[in-house]
Structure 1
């Protein structure tokens, strides 16, 4: 009886949130970014990857679901507020901050050495067999090579570095592996994506698959793609990582959430990233 009551509550709340909300298809637009080195045209919509074609034909970056003013902020690096955080990441990259003066640049040279990395993460580490997100790699360097305490998963220094490293793959196509050693993690992430959580008994798929394109209050529901993360979120006036967003989404269902960087959310990140295979990494995006 209690479960039925919760399900009725979830259905009522969700239907009220969507009541009167007209369909609002993703905006037909092209994202060309002005940079110091010229223009970059990004792939923001393409055919759905094979494993999604039973539920949708086309995938869209969240950029297409934002207002004109928000989309325009991402068209020029000088207007994009997230670039400040990538610049801070560059300062951190070059800083001698290890116990013995180690720096990221000391091992890796320029940040351009990270080109392509963001597009294939999460991935299974060949040596350890563990599923790794970008934060894991950063913290491995911080602790094992610099002799420092881990930066954590969602701290400012970590997000600055995520912004910098992600920028190096801007324009690269998302291509995360879901077979081989990644398969069990991908299956775990898929299960989490379709599992209902919290008092509202809602799953990721309820918003980002079943109701994509609809308005929930003043928000236009996207497909929940993460090719743009980390993103400058206007609502938060700061950078938000995919792991942070997962925490926020689960909390919105009135549930006890997994921790950022947990095995569960790493598996979820792999699955959600795979739903965007074929879209461009946006580096530092701007969202509502």
Structure 2
């Protein structure tokens, strides 16, 4: 009996989501609204206060690393880029982007690792490592308040289209797409949470559920797992394409990193 109730609930949710998805077909890109708008006042207050925002531990770690020599060349990020407040202003808002040298998309994490390995003679940093999250969060902070504006034309276009297709494709045992929740059901309740548009302008974020700072790709993997779908690897071409599409979808939203989310 409990299985039947669960099955009916899943089918009903799928039918409702399908109806919303059909309604969105005429306008699949609603007016962007930051996830901040969907948070409880207490969570918003946590983000607004840099002194209590827990993601600032990552910011401080990144700031230290910015001036720390790394690798065989004895260089730090500051050796070339000097003050991040000036040299990195607006940079994070333009990623991911197509890089002809690698023949594909590079996001902010990828660019940082590129500089570490090619210019500084250092080892690449692992996704979700404290060091990479620290540097990414510190760099992203320098774009806070600036609008996201990525380039989706030219060689970036196929990746954009692949990311868009991924966003609208059903997957997993729940047979749901990203769009069905984050377009069709945005603003509605899922248990005690309010479903957001899934915008990525606040990343890296501090997620209270995880008690840690996290990247965009960790959030993508978590969403896939929630759909009972197989997650992609962080840094994969699939997630980079999705990241490009979502950055375009939220174009004009101000960067908020480090944001706080439930």
Calculate the TM-score normalised by the size of structure 2.
Answer: 0.88
Alignment pair present for 1:248 and 2:222: yes
Q: What CA distance in whole angstroms lies between the structure 2 residues aligned with 1:93 and 1:135?
A: 14
Alignment pair present for 1:72 and 2:45: yes
CA RMSD after TM alignment = 2.2
Q: What CA distance in whole angstroms lies between the structure 2 residues aligned with 1:157 and 1:15?
A: 44
Aligned length: 248
Match for residue 230 of structure 1? 204
Q: Which of 243, 249, 261 is the equivalent residue of 1:269?
A: 243
Q: Which of 205, 215, 219 is the equivalent residue of 2:189?
A: 215
Higher helix share: 2
Pair 136,14 (structure 1): closer, same or farther in 2 beyond 3 Å: farther
Q: What CA distance in whole angstroms lies between the structure 2 residues aligned with 1:191 and 1:283?
A: 27
Match for residue 74 of structure 2? 101
Match for residue 107 of structure 2? 133
Determine if contact 2:218/2:234 at 8 Å carries over to the other structure: yes
Deviations 1:145-170, CA, capped at 9 Å, x for gaps: 22222102221111111110000111
Q: What CA distance in whole angstroms lies between the structure 2 residues aligned with 1:142 and 1:178?
A: 26
Q: What CA distance in whole angstroms lies between the structure 2 residues aligned with 1:10 and 1:131?
A: 40
In structure 1, list runs of 5 or more residues that go unmatched: 1-8, 20-51
Cα offset, 1:79, TM superposition: 2.2
Q: What CA distance in whole angstroms lies between the structure 2 residues aligned with 1:240 and 1:224?
A: 15
In structure 2, list runs of 5 or more residues that go unmatched: 1-5, 17-24
Q: Which of 47, 51, 64 is the equivalent residue of 1:91?
A: 64
Q: Which of 34, 42, 55 is the equivalent residue of 1:61?
A: 34
Determine if contact 1:10/1:200 at 8 Å carries over to the other structure: no
Trace 1:12-51 onto structure 2 (pairs within 5 A).
12-13=9-10, 15=12
Cα offset, 1:76, TM superposition: 2.0
Deviations 1:230-283, CA, capped at 9 Å, x for gaps: 001111111011011001111111121111100000000000111110110012
Determine if contact 1:247/1:257 at 8 Å carries over to the other structure: yes
Q: Which of 161, 164, 171 is the equivalent residue of 1:197?
A: 171
Calculate the TM-score normalised by the size of structure 1.
Answer: 0.81
